[in-house]
Each structure stands twice: as structure tokens, then as C-alpha cells.
Amino acid sequence: MAAGYTPMIQQYLAVKADYQDAFLFFRLGDFYEMFFDDAIKASQELEITLTSREGGTEDRIPMCGVPYHSAANYIEQLIGKGYKVAICEQTEDPKQAKGVVRREVVQLITPGTVMEGKGLSDKENNYIASITAFDDQTYGFAYNDISTGESKVTLLSNNFEEVLNEIAVLSAKEVVVRSDFAGDLQKKMRERDVLAISFEDNSSIEMNFAGLLEDLNQDKLKQTAARLFNYLYRSQKRSLDHLQPVTTYQIHQYMKIDYYSKRNLELTETIRSKGKKGSLLWLLDETMTAMGGRMLKHWIDRPLINKEEIVHRHTLVDVLINHYFERQELREKMKEVYDLERLAGRVAFGNVNARDLVQLKRSLLQVPFLKQILQNMQNQEMIQIAESLDPCEEVTDLLEQAIVENPPLSLKEGNIIRDGYHEQLDQYRDASRNGKTWIAQLEREEREKTGIKSLKVGYNRVFGYYIEVTRANLHLLQEGQYERKQTLTNAERFITPELKEKEALILQAEEKCGELEYELFTEIREIVKEQIPRLQALAKAVSELDVLQCFAQVSEERRYVKPKFSDERRVVIKDGRHPVVEKVLNSQEYVPNDCFMDGDREVLLITGPNMSGKSTYMRQIALTAILAQIGCYVPAEEAVLPIFDQVFTRIGAADDLISGQSTFMVEMLEARNAIVNATQNSLILFDEIGRGTSTYDGMALAQAIIEYIHTRIGAKTLFSTHYHELTVLEEELSKLKNIHVSAIEHNGKVVFLHKIKEGPADKSYGIHVAQLAELPPELIDRANEILTALEQPDIQAIPRKSEAHVIQAAPAKPDTVVEQPAQLSFFDEPAEKKKTDLSSKEKRVLDKIKEIDLLDVTPLQAINLLYELHKKLK
């Protein structure tokens, strides 16, 4: 600590030393002040004025500040940018302080520990995770949402990509690791949108959370969860009684959808806008509660692979579809259910207010209605759900008796507790109310006695109650009638002994009334806190019911069907649709398509022009499978599906600018991820693999990938391509079939039919698509001319039009021979030698043809022979 600083600045520096990675909001009176580098950086980030102050040294100290009553908005801005904020409050009454007022940090707010405000989305969890690297190359992974109390932990393999995938699936905002955690791995986490990386070296199990780890049976799991809890308790410095016992999970218990596939399929956000609209989540979200919305997102992120659990969800959705009126009643009642999970968290955290408790009461009052509606369906499974809904009558009764219906936002204003709830409080209120009645009566009496109609009895904090008379009426007062207290420009203020006596009674009653109300509210909060486990269990049940009714609502509105599951790994989709595209098109006609795959059709090779719908078709197959495995109906007339363990996609092309990977490298990495991890029970979607490199390289890679998946993996695969040469693979690979998206030419223009048909596409229609994009007409004409020339085998060169004559090229001279090699050679050879070699090649080809016995050649051998001879001539 630098010598010479004032005691207050020395205190600031001492506190700041423990929070080097956070902005320190240092309370000084009505402001939170920041000094030194914090002030410079905060003034830039928050766009507030940077000033300076004396600090005891020759140089002035940089300083900026924000009013304490509006600090929440500034804190949210900093947290949203990935910073941490340490709140340092005055913990001593300045009037009683001997020297500098005692101050200490009461809470550290970080991106992963936000409890309220705009930074906390109603329908999204706000997860903080912890990672522990073990010597056997495994990773412990735990996560928690402090706003709801949910906590889970798992062990992951020695592949850090699995850790990154979990971070991405959870959209974890903050990750806690040891201080010596590998720097390159920290960099990878930041590339996956982790806002903050925090450090906690203590992984021992402390008494305050030991009970939360009782169900964990491995030391690795306990150590990982303990690291996270140690960080939470150290940073939050308050009760976390709402934290739920930690449960274990295994990633192989769910359909695995990696980060790239989740992005490519636009499950929870779109690729272009990064927003919810246009995603599968947007399509499905007919939930009526915030906690139901969060559970829907969780189900989409983790589809089931247990057939029994999936069928159970479908059964419940079926019941809700068949009970339309009861379902609508459920939706109406759920509108009145607030966020029970986060309300319980605020109760435990100590930042709940009276309005929050009224919301809790109103939510609990809906539970008996929900139970009755479910029982009215007369279905055994719905009756079981009804029985699991705990209305928590004790909490409802307490809040009904204790809290007024429309309380103020602040707990210090009073008027929170109902009359009749507490006898002493009623006595204070009576004294206060009667005193004020007496004041009003006094004002009337004094007006009559003096004849001064403008006389009034007023109050201010400095002088208390007073009688005010204007100067014009002072002559109407008798000498000594009142005791003069204050002289104003246009009036005089007086007091009387009787008025001061009543003032003491009224103010004492009001002061004690406010203190007692706050004490009573705190007691009520503690009673509610004891019921948090019941409230959390109720929240989970209501959330699941909300998601199931949401599935029923969407399925009925959009004509979805209940899928069946095939143990023979058959895919039979009749008139399937892309759910999101269908909704976006609204009234426009969506063209449905079939999909059939079985043991003899493992790989579908899809050809067809750009913009014809190949990618949409591939995505709709994956989305149909995901919808089925989260428990929803699917967009088709009929659907039979296997249960997929994983979905891999490579759709779209974009450079990974953050990690510096090119389009082609990203393509290869995503392809590798699928090829290395896919099983026979996986679904693979590959769109235009190989287009990011040269034609021959790309074609060779595409064919090799198809062959590898077909022969070595056996996963159900949809592979779209512009390499029409690959369609011959149908003759070589027994389980590969060609299909194409059809298009026709009409009046020289292409018309996309968006219909999937058997066999390969006959044309690519690339120039027609360019014409649709309204490229210049002369450019389109020239492209057609070049295409015609390329398609003529006897034309060896395509003359380039001169720049001066774009529409009509100058004719070549009669004695001029224009030659261009079809492909550039790496090695220059003399022209004469080339001519001689060409002649000898032709001779050898003719000799080969003469040797062929045409009667002893199969059609396939003839095609292969023709291909070989053609290659020699070229």
C-alpha cells in the first residue's frame, strides 16, 4: 500500500487488493465511487464523466461514480460485457464511526451469478460451470443456475471437445477453474462465448454445503461440485438455502447434438441474427410460464434416447390433444403462475420484496384449479400428475393473512402487512392514524377560533408539525396565542405545547410501525424459506406440464402426427415438412416430401440445383427426429423413425474468424467430428462437402467420405452434392441411393419444384440460378456460350471475347490455329514432343480397341473400358 494516501484511499486499496479482476463499487454517501484504473475503464465502458480528487499525494486520483439508487443499470451494463462488480458497502453507522467508516464487500456480481435485472432472461437459464482436470485425462464438469438453485455434475472423457460442447449446450456465461488451468484451454472456452473465467483453488467440502453432495458417489464428482460451491459461497456472501442437491447426469443418456450441429440446425437461435425468431425454439414456444420456457429449451438441447421415456411423453401429449377444452383452461390458469423457481431463489437470497410474495401467493392459488382440470380428463396418467402438484396451503394462507394485495416496492415505506395480522402493529397504526385525525381536527378548530380560513397545520422533517399563518392575517391572532417557531417571507409558523405532544406520539408510532413491519416481513420470509424444497418440486411439475401442453398446442395447430419407432432402423416419412420454414411461409404452399431409408438405403446422395431445397430437405429430416425424441409430434402425414443416438451436420459454409480457420478447414473439422464419433445409430447430414477446395480434390474427398461412412460406419446419411460424377457410386455401393430435387425449364427459365424424386439430377441449372439473381444479361449470354463450348468434346479451346466487343467477338484469321491446353501443366514440354506423344496415344488406343472381343464384354466392363480409353486420349 502506497504511503501518503488518505485513510479512505488506503481503505479502498486494501479492499481492492482482494478483487483485482472486478470493478470495485465503493460506497461513499449516496454514490458508488471508483478510483484509479477502475475509474478510467468504467468511464469508458459506461460513458460517464471521469473526474479526479485529492488523495493525499501530489498527483490527483482518477475518479468516477454512479448514484447508488440507479447503480443496478450500470452494473448490468458491465456484467453484460463480461466484467465482474464487487459491491463494497458501509457496514458501520457514520455517526458512530471513530475515524474512517468501516466498509466491506457484501457481494461479488459476475456474469454467472446474476440474480435479477435485465441480464436475466425469463425463459433462459443463466448457468455458471466449473471444470476440474484430473490426472487420468478426464474432466469433472459441474454447473449451477443460482437464480433457480439447479445443480448437476458429470465426468467427461479425455477429449476437451466434450467439455466445450457442454459449455455450448448450456450457454454457460462463466466457468470456474483452478488458477493453474491450461491457458490454451481457457482461450478455447472464450471462443465458445464464455464471458468470464474465474478461479477457485479450494475444492474441499465445507459444512455449509456438504448436504448438497450426499448423493454423489465419486470423489471426482464431489471435488468438481465443491469447487463450484466454494466459489459461489465466497463470492455471494449470503444465504444460498435454495440450492438444490447436486444430481449426476451422463451425456450418453441423451441424443448428442454437438455445437456445430446445434448451430447449423438452428435449434435455439438462428445462424444469421443469433436471435430466437426463426429457430426451432421459436416455433415450439407456446409455453405459458417462464419456467416452462426454460424447460422447453432444456428438452430441445437434450433430446431423449430412452424409448420408454419418449413414448411416455407422446402419450401425455396425446391425452392433452384429445382434451381441447381442458387444455385451454390449463393455458389460462398457467398465465397466472409466476416464476416459482426464481421466486424461491429470491426468498433464500434475501432480495425478495412484498410484491414478489404476492406473486408467489397468486401462483399457488392456481394450483388447486390445475389439479381439478387434470382430474377432469379422467386419465390415470393425468391424475398422477395432478396428485404431484403440491398447493403449499400453509404458504398461501400465511401470505393471504399477512401481506396486503398491492404493497409498495420498497420494504422501508411500510404499508406491507395487513391490519389484524399483528396486535402491536395495529396499536401503532391506530396511534398514527388517530394522531393524524387529531391534526386535521385541530386545523378546523383553529380556523374557526381565529377566523383565518387560510390557516393550515403542516409538517416538515426539520421542525415537525406547525401552524402556518400568512402575514396578511397575523393581526387576527391574539397576543401569546401561539409560540412563534419560524419566520418566512409571506408567513409565520407557530407551535403549541399540545401540538408538540401529539407530534411526539405520531412520529414515535410511525417509526416503530416501520421497524415492526420490516421485522414481521423478515419473519414471513424465513417461514417461506423453509418451504423452498416444496416450491421447487411444484415448479418442476408445473414446468413439465407446461411444456407438454405446449407440444399438444403446436401439434394440433400445425397438423403434426404422432411418430412411431422402428427397431429395424427404418425411416419412413410421408409428406414431411420443415417445421420452421412451413411456419414462416404462412399461407404459401409448402411442398412436402417423403423420405425412405432402411437396411438397403443407408446413404441418400442428393443432387439438384442451388436454391431447389436440398439443405431444407436435409434439415427437416433432422428436425423431425429431434422433435420426435423430445416428446413432440412431427410435421408429416406419417412418420416411422429409429431412435438416433447422435446427430451430426455439416451445412453451410462460414469462416471461423475467431480461431482463424478457413471455410474449408471448418468444413473438414466438422466432417471429422462426425466421422470419428458417429455410430450405426447416428444421423449424418453433409451438404456440399469438398466445395471449399479444387474440383478434383473436393470430388475425391467427397467420394472417400461417402465410401467410409457407407462401409465403416453404416449411419443413416444424407449427402448433398454438385459433383454429378458421384452419382455413379450407386452402382458400386449397395446401400447408397440417388435422389434429386426436381426442377424444370420453362420459357428459358428454371422453375424449382422442391420435390424429391428418385435418381440423379440431369442438370445443375447453375446459369439459370444466376439469371434468377439478375446478373447482367450479357454476362448470362456469355456463360451460356462458354457452357455450350465446354459441352462439345471436339472443341479444345474457348476463345475469350475482346474487351472492346463484349457482345460479338472478332473472328480469328483463316490461317490461325487457336489452341489452349485443357489444364495447365506443371512442366513445360516442347511442342513437337507433345504432338508426337498425342499421335502415339491415339495409335495405342486404336490398337486396344482392335483387341477387344465385343461379344465377350459385359455392359459394365464396356463402360469402364470406354472411360479408361477416353482418359488416355485426354
pLDDT at 342: 94
- Supply φ then ψ for residue 335, to 5 degrees: -60, -25
Strands lying side by side in the sheet with 464-470? 456-460, 464-470, 491-495, 483-487
* 533 is an annotated ligand-binding site residue: no
pLDDT-based confidence at residue 797 (cuts at 50, 70, 90): very low
Query: Cell triple for residue 722?
Result: 454438385
Cβ contact 524:400 at 8 Å: no
pLDDT at 819: 42
User: For the purposes of burial, counting CB atoms within 10 Å of the CB of 142, is it exposed (0-12), middle (13-18) or buried (19 or more)?
Assistant: buried
* 382 is an annotated ligand-binding site residue: no
> Which helix (H) or strand (E) segment is 174 a member of?
strand 174-177
Residue 790 has pLDDT above 80, yes or no: no
Query: Cell triple for residue 694?
Result: 479444387
User: For the purposes of burial, counting CB atoms within 10 Å of the CB of 376, is it exposed (0-12), middle (13-18) or buried (19 or more)?
Assistant: middle
pLDDT at 799: 53
3-state secondary structure 622-674: HHHHHHHHHCCCECCCEEEECCCCEEEEECCCCCECCCCECHHHHHHHHHHHH
Report CA-CA distances (Å) from 825 to 672, 695, 820: 32, 16, 11
Q: Where are the beta strands (DSSP E) in 496-570?
A: 564-565
> Which helix (H) or strand (E) segment is 107 a member of?
strand 103-109
The residue type at 62: P
d(CA 149, CA 343): 11
Read off the pLDDT of each residue in 409-438 and give the average, rounded to a whole number.
86
Residue 739 has pLDDT above 90, yes or no: yes
Q: Name the most confidently modeled range: 57-66, 554-563, 698-707.
A: 554-563
Read off the pLDDT of each residue in 703-725 and give the average, rounded to a whole number.
92
pLDDT at 773: 72
Query: Cell triple for residue 44?
Result: 469508458
Cβ contact 143:170 at 8 Å: yes
Strands lying side by side in the sheet with 716-720? 256-257, 646-650, 683-687, 716-720, 603-607, 736-746, 749-758
pLDDT-based confidence at residue 814 (cuts at 50, 70, 90): very low
Read off the pLDDT of each residue in 261-288 and give the average, rounded to a whole number.
92
In degrees, to the nearest 5, what angle opens at C-alpha 454 toward C-alphas 453 and 458? 125
Q: Residue 133 pairs with which residues in a beta bridge?
A: 139
Stronger pLDDT, 823 or 869, i.e. the higher one = 869
pLDDT at 764: 64
Residue 586 has pLDDT above 90, yes or no: no
- Supply φ then ψ for residue 230, to 5 degrees: -60, -40
For 603-640, write each residue's pLDDT tens digit: 999 998 777 788 899 999 999 999 999 999 999 999 99
The residue type at 523: E
Average pLDDT, the chain: 87
pLDDT-based confidence at residue 662 (cuts at 50, 70, 90): low
Cβ-Cβ contacts under 8 Å for 533 (sequence gap 6 or more): 244
Residue 801 has pLDDT above 60, yes or no: no
* 609 is an annotated ligand-binding site residue: yes
d(CA 629, CA 75): 41
pTM above 0.85, yes or no: no
pLDDT-based confidence at residue 841 (cuts at 50, 70, 90): low
Read off the pLDDT of each residue in 366-395 and give the average, rounded to a whole number.
95
Residue 855 has pLDDT above 90, yes or no: no
pLDDT at 475: 87
The residue type at 312: H
Q: Name the most confidently modeled range: 83-87, 190-194, 796-800, 848-852.
A: 83-87
pLDDT at 271: 86
User: For the purposes of burial, counting CB atoms within 10 Å of the CB of 851, is it exposed (0-12), middle (13-18) or buried (19 or more)?
Assistant: exposed
* 121 is an annotated ligand-binding site residue: no
Cβ-Cβ contacts under 8 Å for 568 (sequence gap 6 or more): 598, 599, 642
Report CA-CA distances (Å) from 682 to 305, 308, 465, 679: 11, 19, 81, 5
Q: State the DSSP code for 811.
A: P
- Supply φ then ψ for residue 616, to 5 degrees: -60, -45
* 410 is an annotated ligand-binding site residue: no
The residue type at 589: E
Cβ contact 432:509 at 8 Å: yes
Residue 837 has pLDDT above 60, yes or no: no
pLDDT at 628: 98
Residue 302 has pLDDT above 90, yes or no: yes
Q: Is 801 helix (H, G, I), strand (E, B) or coil?
A: coil
- Supply φ then ψ for residue 523, to 5 degrees: -60, -45
Residue 298 has pLDDT above 90, yes or no: yes
- Supply φ then ψ for residue 244, to 5 degrees: -85, 155
Which position has the grid cell 384449479?
369
Using a pLDDT cut of 70, give the percent of the chain over it. 88
For 36-49, write each residue's pLDDT tens digit: 999 999 999 999 99
- Supply φ then ψ for residue 584, to 5 degrees: -65, -35
Read off the pLDDT of each residue in 814-824 and give the average, rounded to a whole number.
41
- Supply φ then ψ for residue 690, to 5 degrees: 95, -5
Closest CA to 105 of 253, 259, 294, 235: 235
pLDDT-based confidence at residue 521 (cuts at 50, 70, 90): very high
For 315-329, write each residue's pLDDT tens digit: 999 999 999 999 999
In this structure, of 28-42, 53-67, 187-201, 819-833, the range with the lowest mean pLDDT score is 819-833
d(CA 686, CA 717): 8
Read off the pLDDT of each residue in 2-12 and give the average, rounded to a whole number.
86
Residue 469 has pLDDT above 50, yes or no: yes
Read off the pLDDT of each residue in 124-130 and give the average, rounded to a whole number.
95
Q: Is 541 helix (H, G, I), strand (E, B) or coil?
A: helix
CA dihedral 119, 121, 125, 128 (to 10 degrees): -10
Cβ contact 575:593 at 8 Å: yes
pLDDT at 531: 95
* 245 is an annotated ligand-binding site residue: no
d(CA 487, CA 471): 10
Stronger pLDDT, 28 or 820, i.e. the higher one = 28
User: For the purposes of burial, counting CB atoms within 10 Å of the CB of 38, is it exposed (0-12), middle (13-18) or buried (19 or more)?
Assistant: buried
With both helix axes pointing from N to C terminus, report the angle between 354-376 and 532-557 in degrees, rounded to the nearest 10. Answer: 60
Cβ contact 636:575 at 8 Å: yes
800-828 per-residue burial string, b: 16 or more CB within 10 A, e: under 16: ebeeeeeeeeeeeeeeeeeeeeeeeeeee
Say how many C-beta atoms besides its own lie within 10 A of residue 726's C-beta.
20
> Which helix (H) or strand (E) segment is 684 a member of?
strand 683-687
* 608 is an annotated ligand-binding site residue: yes
Q: Residue 640 pairs with which residues in a beta bridge?
A: 564, 572
Residue 487 has pLDDT above 50, yes or no: yes
For 306-363, write each residue's pLDDT tens digit: 999 999 999 999 999 999 999 999 999 999 999 999 999 999 988 899 999 999 999 9
Query: Cell triple for residue 346?
Result: 429470491
pLDDT at 90: 92
* 748 is an annotated ligand-binding site residue: no
Closest CA to 222 of 295, 169, 151: 151
Cβ contact 18:40 at 8 Å: no
Stronger pLDDT, 536 or 843, i.e. the higher one = 536
pLDDT at 810: 39
> Which helix (H) or strand (E) segment is 402 a member of?
helix 393-402
